[in-house]
Amino acid sequence: MDTKKYVIKQISIFSENRPGRLAAVAQALGEEKINILAFSIAEANGFGVIRALVDHPEKAYKKLSSLGYNVAFTDVIAVQMKDQPGGLYDIAKVLGDSGINIEYSYAYSGKKVAVLILRVDQVEDAIEKIQGAGATLLEHTVFH
């Protein structure tokens, strides 16, 4: 199975917990006409990581690096959520049963349906298991 088309390039940005850091990132991307499709912020005491799906990840990486930010690419997958209770539980169970860890997740509201962005430790396995369970994965072309 071609799993590659389901692998989505997320950009992760190291950030101090200071007011205005997210705004500064958003502004920098805006200047390059890069759209942020989904994002989440993970915080620890004193610092955080901004995670974002954008339409032009390479361009975003270049721009933010040139401004001195610590930026990295991270592979994530996007699962289309069934519009019914228990959808998230099903996916978590499928992955858990296969010994795949979810490192983090966040939601993205797509055009019609809710989408869950997942960072897992074994991306290819996860794609196969999720599809095997009958759930729908979004291709990276949906984002960029």
Partner 1 sequence: MQFWDPRIEEMPKADLQKMQYKLLKSLICRLYSFSPFYHDRMKAQKVHPDDIRELSDIRKLPFMFKKDLRDNYPNHIFTATREELVRYHVSSGTTGKPTVVGYTQKDIDMWSTSIARGLTAIGLGRGDVIQVSYGYGLFTGGLGLHYGAERIGATVLPTSVGNTERQVELMQDLEVTAIACTPSYLLHIGEVAEKIGIDIKKDTHLKAGILGAEPWTENMRKRMENWLGIKAYDIYGTSELSGPMFTECAEQNGFHIWSDIALVEVIDPKTGESLEPGEKGELTLTMLQKEALPMIRYRIGDISSVDEDVCPCGRTSPRINRIQGRVDDMLIIRGINVFPSQVEYTLMTIPEVGEHFQIVVERTGALDDMLVRVELTKESFSDKINDLMKIRQNVEHRLRNALNVAVDVELVEPGSLPRFEGKSKKVIDKRAI
**Binding positions for partner 1, rule: CB under 8 A:** 10, 12, 14-16, 42-44, 46-49, 51, 68-72, 74, 103, 119
Q: Select 69 or 143, whichever has its Cβ closest to partner 1.
A: 69
Q: What is the 3-state secondary structure (H, E, C) of 94-131?
A: HHHHCCCCEEEEEEEECCCCEEEEEEECCHHHHHHHHH
User: Contact at 8 Å (CB) between 20 and 59?
Assistant: no
Q: Shortest Cβ distance from residue 9 to partner 1 (Å)?
A: 12
Nearer to partner 1, 23 or 44 (CB): 44
Nearest distance in Å: CB 73, partner 1: 9
- Give me the count of residues in the chain: 144
